[in-house]
Amino acid sequence: FDPNNPEAMAIKEKINAHPCYSEGAHQHYARIHVAVAPACNIQCNYCNRKYDCSNESRPGVTSAKLSAEDAVKKVLYVGGEIQQLSVVGIAGPGDALANPEKTFDTFRMLQEKAPDLKLCLSTNGLKIADYIDEIEKYNIDHVTVTINTVDATGEIGSQIYPWVHWNHKKVWGAEGAKILLEKQLEGIKLLTQRGILVKANSVLIPGVNDKDLPNVAKKLKEMNVFLHNIMPLLSSPEFGTKFGLDGVPSATDQETMAAQEACGMDMKLMSHCRQCRADAVGLIGEDRGDEFTPDAFVDMS
Ligand code: SF4
Ligand code: SF4
């Protein structure tokens, strides 16, 4: 980071204590996810609603859903227990922006009660444009968008997303996928224009979007996205995911490395992601979510 470049220094300040955006920070700073967002406005074939959103989390692990008030209590309690806590994220179990009231109530209260914590959200991108003013108002300066394809025909997207909920109805197949892509690109542009740091997640689905991921990386670079995280599909019938049931195997280490190499030509890649769960607590890779059950914090005033 060039100390004479104010823009670069502003970014440095934002990522310094953020364990997901800065590899250097991930051993020293902790994050907490609060699971306040149960609903979703799209269907991904790799998702099972019984589990957490794959925007940010490892499928197969359920998280207790919290009210906004209990989420704030939990953050304050955990902040007392884990001194390195620096970031609060909303990453599911559904989509943060498909639950705008609970998401922004939580952020509003956190801004008042814990102004030193950085706020972060994760979304499929469909509703960013609708809530861009709120995102800015509550100083949410890190947003993760899951974007799995930039295929403008909607063909690849239709294999990943059976439907998208738009204008009060389900839009199926390629038409739905095209709406999602358009809104993702519009949303990412708005975020970066307002100086909000964007990380993109892409789920690598072998045989479906592997060839398109380098195009995703190119597009992200064009739009000044800060970091790209390629997450291998974790496919298993016991999760009930469509890909798992249909026998699309998990991405192998080799496939993941090949995709990362292809995307790394254009984008700075996140290499320390551990596909953490929607109620993750602690340092990345050292999950303490199970220690903080509601009995530990709901009676606090
Ligand atoms: Fe599931 Fe997340 Fe996809 Fe919604 S955006 S369908 S919660 S994986
Ligand atoms: Fe990190 Fe994502 Fe959680 Fe934010 S929402 S703290 S980027 S894992």
Q: Do β-strands 30-33 and 42-43 pair in parallel, antiparallel, or remain unpaired?
A: unpaired
pLDDT attached to residue 276: 60
Residue 237 — left, alpha, or beta (φ > 0 → left; ψ -120 to 50 → alpha)? alpha
From ligand 1's centre to the CA of 152, what distance in Å?
21
Peptide bond preceding 93 in cis form (omega within 30 of 0): yes
Question: 43 CB less than 6 Å from ligand 1?
Answer: yes
* Both structure tokens of 5: 């470049």
Indicate which residue's Cα is closest to atom 3 of ligand 2. Answer: 89
Q: What is the dihedral of CA 78, 29, 91, 76, to 10 degrees?
A: 20
Indicate which residue's Cα is closest to atom 2 of ligand 2. Answer: 56
Q: How far apart (Å, rounded) are the C-alpha atoms in residues 153 and 157?
A: 8
Mutate to test the pocket of ligand 1, among 33, 36, 40 (most ligand atoms within 8 A of CB): 40
ipTM: 0.88
pLDDT attached to residue 59: 47
pLDDT attached to residue 274: 60
Q: How far apart (Å, rounded) are the C-alpha atoms in residues 225 and 228?
A: 8
pLDDT attached to residue 166: 97
Whole-number Cα distances in Å, 130 to 100, 103, 108, 125, 228: 10, 14, 17, 10, 24
Which ligand neighbours the alpha carbon of 200 most closely? 2
Cα-to-chain-centroid distance, residue 30: 16
Q: Helix, strand or coil for residue 87?
A: strand
CB 269 within 8 A of CB 229: yes
**pLDDT (tens place) for every residue of the chain, 301 residues total:** 777 777 777 777 777 767 777 766 667 788 888 989 989 999 998 886 656 666 665 544 556 678 999 999 999 999 988 888 988 999 888 899 999 999 999 999 999 999 999 999 999 999 999 999 999 999 998 999 999 999 999 999 999 999 999 999 999 999 999 999 999 999 999 999 999 999 999 999 999 999 999 999 999 999 999 999 998 887 765 555 666 656 677 888 999 999 999 888 878 887 666 656 556 677 766 667 677 776 666 655 4
pLDDT attached to residue 45: 87
Which of 53, 37, 97 is CA-nearest to residue 276?
Answer: 53
pLDDT attached to residue 106: 97
Q: How far apart (Å, rounded) are the C-alpha atoms in residues 94 and 108?
A: 20
pLDDT attached to residue 301: 46
Indicate which residue's Cα is closest to atom 4 of ligand 1. Answer: 40
